[in-house]
């Protein structure tokens, strides 16, 4: 229900209803009111004091069924709702809609492309990719819940000189049996060895460039090895994606755009944008607002920017997107500003619909990571460690729990995802197992435990009966929960507008905390039947919305912990 609209509709004096609706707010002191209308902006327009306007509005209110009281106080009109009627409406809506509570059709017939994760072929799927993947997947699910047709794109890093380096390394030191057995870890070992050997033998770099040229020219042996490395990588990363509950609709990577770059370069040339600079081809920006965008090297080689330009044209033609989102770390801010500006200069009106969703970096407590030096932490190892630590906690707290392994998987993996998404996406993260697996903090396990607690209440109390007495939720802690439940649909929209999953993450923590406060303040079992049932309804609604929220984040909900 739109309680702001209820308030505005209750006002019978002659005010601009749209303006009043824009003024309705949540008061700083929620003990004073559920919602309020501050009258200070109106005072400037109407040339009256805020106090007089507030009194005029309050006197004209028809309270109807939902509004319990209205009062003019110091230039504010304070509204309180009938807690039992309010509670009934909120709970009925949550429980009737269930898994679809909070969903909307605002995105009907609109397509959003999301480019995220974008792992590199033949390189480890390491901890540094986790933030990008978790943010992109959460945004994917959030926009899907709002009715958009969402296209998840894994823009694979499957092109570049590194493949020439890997072919040289494989031919010198590789062993197919070992690579088949150890996968990307085996490829990483020989890749690191290449860089160490090349310091003493620079001619290896020339060999690598020659092999990459062979890939570009369609050499059969080069393409065979290139495809071999790609299949090994995708086999491994898909196992991790499955554990993270992440899916993609397209794996069109850099190599996909090889035959799509020249038409873009030709168009930019025809429009007088692509010019020569020291033998290379660049686009220069008005007033030198940015460094020139390099699209072709002096040797004719293309770059990331060239392929991203081709990808943008392809995505618009193929999907006719409403928005095209790029979830990429903030180090690429300049890159995307250049790409979007070139598209705009080329006369593409849809360039305004391209959005770079920048995020911070992830490091471990013992430092940062580098593929070239071999200093990486495989994401699979992080997940395995988190799951093992979660199982240790479960063994100590609930040793007789059935299916401990499956629960530990949900808790461990969920803890890692939640830890990535709890803070604003632009912040750098220093990942700590102890922090993310804390069952008492603002963490994934804490929220999951609250969900499981709701489940255990139904095991103790039975299911909701037909006799309902809403006096059972006529108290402050219930009211706090009801307000949060009502806020959930707007929370999803806010998360989507800001491209910020932490809005949902922090919301489910607030809801879990509010429920645990209610749980400790009010009995459920042993109360009169009607009181018990209204409190069970509240419990069921909390469990439903926590489950819905965690689902958008990609986190599973164990029924017992």
| Catalytically annotated residues | 123, 126, 129
Q: Which two tokens stand for residue 59?
A: 């006197």
The distance from CA 14 to its chain's CA centroid, rounded to whole angstroms, is 44
Long-range contacts of residues 418-421, Cβ cutoff 8 Å, at least 24 apart: 418/443, 418/444, 418/447, 418/505, 418/553, 418/555, 419/443, 419/444, 420/130, 420/131, 420/134, 420/135, 420/362, 421/134, 421/135, 421/138, 421/501, 421/502, 421/504, 421/505, 421/553
What lies within 8 Å, CB to CB, of 308 at 6+ separation is 335, 339
What distance in Å separates the CA atoms of residue 148 and residue 108, rounded to the nearest whole number?
6
Q: Which two tokens stand for residue 70?
A: 């209205």
What distance in Å separates the CA atoms of residue 375 and residue 352, rounded to the nearest whole number?
39
What distance in Å separates the CA atoms of residue 189 and residue 174, rounded to the nearest whole number?
9
What distance in Å separates the CA atoms of residue 434 and residue 518, rounded to the nearest whole number?
28
Which residues partner with 325 through β-bridges?
114, 355
What distance in Å separates the CA atoms of residue 141 and residue 242, rounded to the nearest whole number?
15
Which residues partner with 71 through β-bridges?
78
Query: What sign does the CA torsion over 182, 183, 185, 188 have?
Result: positive
DSSP line for 366-430: TB--BTTTTB--BHHHHHHHHHHHHHHHHHHH-TT-TTHHHHHHHHHHHHHHHHHHSS-TTS-EE
What distance in Å separates the CA atoms of residue 394 and residue 92, rounded to the nearest whole number?
35
Q: Taking each helix axis from N to C terminus, what angle separates 220-244 and 404-421, rounded to the nearest 10 degrees?
A: 100
What distance in Å separates the CA atoms of residue 459 and residue 13, rounded to the nearest whole number?
52
What distance in Å separates the CA atoms of residue 156 and residue 70, rounded to the nearest whole number?
58
Burial class (CB in 10 A: 0-12, 13-18, 19+), 400: exposed
What distance in Å separates the CA atoms of residue 384 and residue 374, rounded to the nearest whole number?
20
What distance in Å separates the CA atoms of residue 427 and residue 288, rounded to the nearest whole number?
30
DSSP structure class, residue 25: B
What length does the chain have? 561
Pairing state between β 362-364 and 354-359: unpaired
């Amino acid at each position: 229900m739109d309680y702001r609209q209820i308030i505005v509709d209750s006002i019978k004096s002659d005010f601009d209803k749209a303006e009043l609706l824009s003024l309705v707010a949540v008061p700083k002191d929620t003990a004073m009111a559920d919602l309020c209308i501050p009258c200070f902006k109106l005072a400037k327009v109407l040339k009256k004091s805020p106090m007089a306007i507030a009194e005029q509005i309050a006197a004209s209110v028809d309270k109807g069924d939902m509004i319990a009281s209205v009062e003019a106080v110091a230039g504010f009109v304070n509204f309180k709702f009938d807690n039992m009627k309010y509670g009934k409406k909120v709970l009925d809506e949550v429980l009737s809609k269930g898994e679809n509570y909070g969903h909307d059709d605002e995105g009907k017939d609109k397509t959003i492309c999301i480019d995220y994760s974008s792992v590199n072929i033949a390189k480890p799927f390491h901890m540094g990719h986790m933030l990008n993947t978790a943010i992109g997947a959460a945004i994917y699910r959030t926009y899907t819940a709002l009715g958009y047709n969402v296209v998840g794109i894994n823009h694979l890093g499957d092109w570049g000189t590194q493949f020439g380096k890997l072919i040289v390394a494989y031919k010198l030191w590789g062993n197919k049996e070992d690579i088949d057995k150890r996968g990307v870890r085996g490829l990483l070992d020989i890749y690191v060895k290449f860089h160490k050997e090349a310091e003493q033998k620079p001619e290896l770099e020339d060999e690598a460039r020659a092999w990459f040229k062979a890939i570009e020219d369609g050499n059969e042996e080069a393409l065979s090895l290139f495809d071999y490395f790609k299949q090994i990588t995708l086999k491994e990363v898909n196992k991790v994606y499955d554990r993270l509950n992440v899916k993609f609709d397209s794996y069109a990577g850099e190599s996909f755009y090889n035959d799509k770059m020249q038409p873009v370069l030709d168009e930019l040339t025809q429009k007088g944008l692509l010019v020569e600079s020291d033998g290379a081809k660049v686009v220069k920006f008005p007033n030198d607002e940015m460094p020139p965008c390099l699209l072709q090297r002096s040797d004719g080689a293309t770059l990331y920017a060239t392929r991203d330009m081709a990808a943008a044209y392809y995505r618009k033609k193929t999907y006719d997107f409403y928005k095209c989102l790029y979830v990429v770390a903030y180090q690429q801010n300049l890159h995307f500003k250049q790409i979007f500006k070139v598209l705009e200069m080329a006369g593409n009106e849809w360039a305004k619909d391209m959005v770079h969703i920048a995020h911070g970096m992830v490091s471990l407590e013992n430092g940062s990571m580098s593929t070239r030096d071999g200093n990486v932490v495989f994401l699979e190892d992080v997940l395995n460690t988190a799951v093992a630590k979660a199982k240790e906690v479960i063994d100590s707290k609930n040793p007789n729990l059935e299916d401990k392994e499956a629960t530990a998987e949900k808790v461990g993996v969920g803890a890692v995802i939640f830890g990535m998404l709890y803070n604003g996406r632009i912040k750098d993260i220093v990942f700590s197992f102890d922090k993310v697996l804390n069952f008492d903090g603002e963490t994934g396990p804490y929220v999951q435990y609250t969900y499981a607690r709701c489940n255990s209440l139904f095991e103790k109390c039975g299911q909701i009966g037909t006799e309902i007495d809403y006096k059972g939720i006529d108290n402050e802690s219930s009211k706090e929960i009801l307000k949060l439940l009502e806020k959930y649909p707007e929370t999803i929209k806010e998360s989507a507008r800001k491209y910020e999953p932490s809005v949902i993450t922090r919301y489910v923590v607030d809801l879990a905390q509010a429920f645990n406060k209610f749980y400790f303040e009010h009995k459920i079992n042993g109360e009169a039947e009607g009181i018990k049932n209204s409190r069970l309804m509240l419990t069921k609604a909390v469990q439903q919305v926590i489950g819905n929220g965690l689902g958008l984040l990609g986190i599973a909900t164990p029924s017992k912990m």
